[in-house]
Structure formats: C-alpha cells, structure tokens
A = this chain, B = another copy of it.
Amino acid sequence: MGDFSAIRNFISRFLTFTEEEWKAHEVLLVRKTIKKGEFLLKAGDVCNHVTFINKGYFRVYHLIGEQEFTANFAFDGNYVTDYASFVSRQPSVDNIVAMEDAEVLLLDYDSLQTAYERYPVWQKFGRMIAEYILIFIVERNRSLLFLTPEERYLKLMKDRPKVIASVPLKYIASYVGITPEALSRIRKRMSIKA
C-alpha cells in the first residue's frame, strides 16, 4: 500500500513536516496507475490535480493544428501539472501524456484549498510548489531566449541526461524548438567535431 517515501523525499527538500502533518497530507493523495499513451490532462480541461510521479515519465505538450510543441518532460520523483490552469481554473492548453506505464499520486484542487484554509504550513506548501515550478520555468525561458537550438540541445545533454537517454529524438527536437531533421543535423555536426 502506502509507500510515500519518494514524495516525502521531494517535499523534505523544501519543508519540514511533523509526522502528523505527513499523515494529514497523505490521506489526501490518491494513487493511480496510468498506461503508456494515456492522458493525465487533456487540452481544454481545467487541470484539477497536482501530480507526483512515483514511476514512469510524462510529456507535456501543446497542439497547434498538426504540430506538437513539447513544453516539458517530467520524471519520477517530481511533480507534473499545468499549474497555471490549476491555479487560475482556466482550461489548459497543454496535454500531459504518459510515455511509459506510470504510477502517480494525485492531489486534488479542492483538497488543497481546504488544507490551505486550515493549516498555515499548507500555504507554505503551495508557495513552495509555485516557486519550484517558477525557478524551473525561468531557466527554461532563458534557454529559449538566449541560446541557439544547438546550444539548447547541448545544455539539455549536460543538465538533464535522463531526457536524452529516455526520450525519442522527435520529442527532444520539439522540446528544443526545432524539427527532427534539424536535430539530426546538429547531432551529425557534433559527431564530426568529436
């Protein structure tokens, strides 16, 4: 049943909970398994959960016409959500899809709001989540603004080797902001230099 070691690990990097607070947290979590190719969130729906990934990994992407734009990958031991949609209660423009069979812990919007009202430590938790996501996205933003696609790919190799190792190239290309063809050429250039 309840193995919450991974999520406790994650949260402990930011907050100190008492055993009581942990328990109070964990009764709110819903465990769920998701098969490869199934969706955690579909564009058009309001994102209703903050999701902790126990196993598997997810891809967050936006669909414009036929074209997919990959916003991010989220691996086990981390949260995944469309937090902007979750917070603003507006329909999401993103899809979140399982890239492998996965197991997640869902934290429901209403549960979280109730918890916010009841315990100050939860407000802190909410801040933590928002700030954690923010720091990540600011960094991503900088990449997109000042690096070339080639530099972004190199940075991805350095910062998130797990992505390179696990994710099909066409999604990596889309994450880097280019076509698979262009990524292929970048990789070729690299292998020649090296």
Contact = CB atoms under 8 A, between A and B. Distances in A.
B138 A84 contact: yes
A137 interface: yes
Chain A's interface size range is 20 to 34
Interface string A122-148: 011011001101110111111011100
Contact of A134 (B62, B71, B130): B130
Interface on chain A toward B: helix, strand, loop, or mixed SS? helix
A69 interface: yes
Contacts of A134: 83-84, 87, 130, 133-134, 137
Interface string A48-64: 00000000000000101
8 contacts: A71-B145, A83-B138, A84-B139, A120-B123, A126-B127, A133-B134, A137-B137, A144-B144
